Amino acid sequence: MSDFPYTDRFTVNRVLPEHGRPREEVLAELREMARAEDLTWETGKVSGTMYCGDHEHYRFLDEAFGLFAHVNVLQRDICPSATKFEGEIIAMALDLMHADAVTDTEPVGMVTTGGTGSIIHALLSYREHAAAHRGITRPNFIKPETGHPAFDKGCHLFGIEMRTAPIDPQTTEVDVDWVADNIDENTIAIMGSACNYGYGTVDPIPALGELALSRGVGLHVDGCLGGFVLPFAQELGYDVPLFDFRVPGVTSISADNHKYGYALKGASTLLFRDKAYRNAQYFYLPEWSGGKYHSPGIEGSRSGGLIAAAWASMVQLGREGYRSYAKAILETAFTMQGAVRSHPELTIMGSPTFCFAFRSDEFDIYHVADAMKPKGWRFNGQQYPNAIHMAVTRPQTQAGVAEAFAADLADAVEYAKKQTAAGQAPISAAIYGGVPGGMTDEAAQFIEGFMEQMLDTQQSLPPL
Ligand SMILES: Cc1ncc(COP(=O)(O)O)c(C=O)c1O
C-alpha cells in the first residue's frame, strides 16, 4: 500500500475537534482527495474495482442516495418506499435469472451489503435450513478452489466445515467427480461460480445442478461478478453456459449491484429458488425488553440510500443499457485477450469471459506486471500458478485503452525475456508472489502489517 499522502496538506484529526469547520471547507478537502484518487483509474488502466466509471451516472446515483441516505430501512412504517425499492430490485433480479422457470416453489430474494454479504447470508440460510429439515449439526459445504474467499469466511463465522474441490488446470473448472465423492450426509450445499474472480471462467453449473438434485443438497451460484453481465452476454449470443434458475438444482444465486449492476458500493442481491431457504435465517427476539426485535438478515439498521440508488440504477439503465455496456465490455475483453494470445510466451487460463488471467511458461509473469506498472497499469497478481488478472470494466471500453494494453504488453513481454535472460527476479514478486507451502510466519506478519496500514495509519502518524 502507498504511503498515506494527505498528512502534509490536511489537518490530522486524532480527537473530535471542539469546534466544527465550515461545510465548504470540509467539502473542498474531500473534493481534492476524490479528484486525485479518481485520476488513478480514469485512464482505464486499472483492473476491476471501478465497474462503471461514468461520473454522470455517479451524480445520478448520488442524488438518489441523498434522498434516502438518512432513512433506516429497518423501520418500514416510516419508509414504505424501501419496500418498493427492495421488492422491485429482487423481482427484477429474479426475472434476469429466469426464476419464471421455477414452478414448484416460491422464488424470493433479499438485498445485502455486497458480495460477501450475499454469500454469508446464503451460507447461514443453508445451515439453518439443514439444521431444521435434515437435523444436521456438523455441517459442511463444498466449493471449487476458485470459489471466492467469502465462502471460507462465512464457513469460518458459522462453524461450517469447508471442503475445497480441485479444478482442472486446463479449463480451470471444478472437478465435479471430486465434489460427488466428497458430498456426505452432513453436506448442506455446494457451489459454482458464474464467473469466478480469478480466471473469469464459469463452472459446469448444469452438472453441479444434477449432482445437487440427486444428492439432496443446495447449489449456490456465485454470480456476484457475472450476474449483471452474463445474462446479457447470453442474449447477445456469446457462448455462455446456463447458470441460472433454468438449471434444475440451482437453489440460490448472488449478483452484485455494486459491481456490474452499476450501483453504489454496498449493494448486492441474493436470490433463492425456495422461500424456505431465505426464511430459515430470519432472526427474531420477541421477548427483548426493547420490543419484539426482528431483522430479515444479519444487519440491523441499513441505509435507504443504497437501496434507492441500486433501484435507480436498474430502472434507469434497463435491459437495453445493461446489454449495451455488456457488449462493449465483452468486445474489449476479447480484444485484450487477443493481444495476450498473440504472444506465444503467454497462456490464457481456461475459456474466460469479461475477466481473464494469463501466465507464462517462459518467464515469471510478474516481470510483465513490473514493466506495465510504470505505464499506469494496475493488475491483480495471482498465485498457484503465478498469473496476471484483468477484470474488464467500463473504463477499459474507452477509445484507445485496449490498443494501449496491446502495445504496453508487447513491450512488457520483451522486458520479461531480457530480465529472465539476465537472471533477474521480478520486483512485484514480493507483493504478488505465492507463499510456498501455505501460510508462513513471515507471510502472516506481512498480511497483518498490510491490514494495520489500512486501519491504524492515523495512529502511527508523527505528532502534530
Ligand atoms: C466472484 C466473486 N464473488 C464474490 C465476491 C465478493 O464481493 P465483495 O467484495 O462485494 O464482498 C467477489 C469480489 O470480487 C467476486 O469476484
Question: How many Å lie between the centroid of ligand 1 and the Cα of residue 355?
Answer: 13
What is the Å distance from ligand 1's center to 320 Cα?
25
| C-alpha–C-alpha distance, residues 292 and 312, integer Å | 32
Cα(115) to ligand 1 centroid in Å equals 5
Phi, psi of 161, rounded to the nearest 5 degrees:
-75, 130
Domains in the chain, start-ordered, CATH in brackets? 80-313 (3.40.640.10), 320-441 (3.90.1150.10)
Residue 281 Cα, ligand 1 centroid: separation in angstroms?
Answer: 21
For residue 55, give the H/E element and its range. Answer: helix 55-68
The kind and range of the H/E element at 346 are: strand 346-348
Residue 349 CB coordination number (10 Å): 23
Residue 174 per-residue DSSP state: B
* Cell numbers at 9, concatenated: 496538506
Which mutation among 47, 118, 148 tests ligand 1's pocket best, with the greatest number of atoms within 8 A of CB? 148
Cell numbers linked to 352: 474466460
Is 75 in contact with 241 (CB distance < 8 Å)?
no
Supply 85's cell numbers: 425499492
- The C-alpha atoms of residue 453 and residue 457 are separated, in whole angstroms, by 5
Which of 196, 197, 258, 268 maximizes ligand 1 atoms within 8 Å of its Cβ, making it the mutation to test the pocket? 197
Q: Which atom of ligand 1 is nearest to the CA of 119?
A: 4
Looking at residue 439, its pLDDT comes to 67
For ligand 1, what atom is nearest to the CA of residue 223?
A: 1
28: CB partners within 8 A, 6+ apart = none
Q: For ligand 1, atom 7, which residue shows the shortest CA distance?
A: 115
Tell me how far CA of residue 206 lies from CA of 241, 249, 400, 433, in angstroms.
8, 8, 38, 35
CA of 76 to the centre of ligand 1 (A): 29
d(CA 271, CA 245) in angstroms, rounded, equals 10
Q: Which atom of ligand 1 is nearest to the CA of 195?
A: 1
Residue owning grid cell 462465512: 154
Q: 48: left (phi > 0), else alpha (psi -120 to 50), else beta?
A: left
Residue with CA closest to ligand 1 atom 4: 115
**Helix residue spans in 135-193 (DSSP H):** 149-158, 176-182
Most ligand 1 atoms within 8 A of CB, residue of 47, 146, 224, 298 to mutate: 224
Matching residue, cell 498528512: 7
Q: What is the pLDDT of residue 434?
A: 45
Q: Which residues pair with 142 in a beta bridge?
A: 163, 190
Q: For residue 226, which atom of ligand 1 is closest to its CA?
A: 1
Q: Burial code of 119-141, b = ≥16 C-beta within 10 A, e = fewer? A: bbbbbbbbbbbbeeeeebeebbb
Ranges of the chain whose pLDDT falls below 50: 1-2, 430, 432-436, 464
- For the segment 422-442, what is each residue's pLDDT rounded down to a tens digit? 999 998 764 544 444 566 777
Which residue ranges have their beta carbon within 6 Å of ligand 1?
A: 114-116, 148, 150, 193, 196-197, 222, 224-225, 256
Pairing of strands 161-165, 140-144: parallel
- Ligand 1 centroid from CA 50, angstroms: 13
As given in the structure block, the three cell numbers for residue 100 are 419464471
**Closest-CA residue to 144 (of 152, 134, 133):** 152
C-alpha cell of residue 455: 486501519
Picking from 195, 128, 139, the residue whose alpha carbon sits closest to that of residue 167 is 195
Let me know if 82 is exposed, middle or buried by CB neighbors in 10 A (0-12, 13-18, 19+): buried
CA of 8 to the centre of ligand 1 (A): 35
> 407 alpha carbon to ligand 1 midpoint, in Å?
30
119 three-class SS = helix
* CA of 268, closest atom in ligand 1: 10
The residues, any chain, with a CB within 8 Å of residue 396's CB and separated by 6 or more, are 44, 329, 332, 333, 336, 402, 405
Show the beta-strand stretches assigned E in 235-298. Answer: 252-255, 268-272, 283-285, 293-295
Question: What's the pLDDT at 457?
Answer: 62
Nearest CA to ligand 1 atom 8: 115
How far apart, in whole angstroms, are the C-alpha atoms of residue 429 and residue 365? 9
293 by DSSP, 3-state: which?
strand
Q: Compute, in angstroms, the gap from residue 179 CA to the centroid of ligand 1.
A: 22
Q: Which of 225, 259, 268, 393 to mutate to test the pocket of ligand 1 (most atoms within 8 A of CB)?
A: 225
SS3 assignment, position 95: helix
The C-alpha atoms of residue 174 and residue 178 are separated, in whole angstroms, by 8
Cell numbers 422464488 correspond to 107
Instruction: Please give the pLDDT value at position 51.
Output: 97
Please give the radius of gyration of the chain, using alpha carbons only, rounded to the nearest integer.
23
CA angle 9, 450, 5 (to 5 degrees): 10
- What pLDDT, on the 0 to 100 scale, is given for residue 435? 45
CA–centroid distance, residue 346 to ligand 1 (Å)? 26
Q: Which of 65, 157, 69 is nearest to 119 (CA)?
A: 157
Q: How far is the CA of 255 from the centre of ligand 1 (A)?
A: 9
CB atoms inside a 10 Å sphere around CB 164? 16
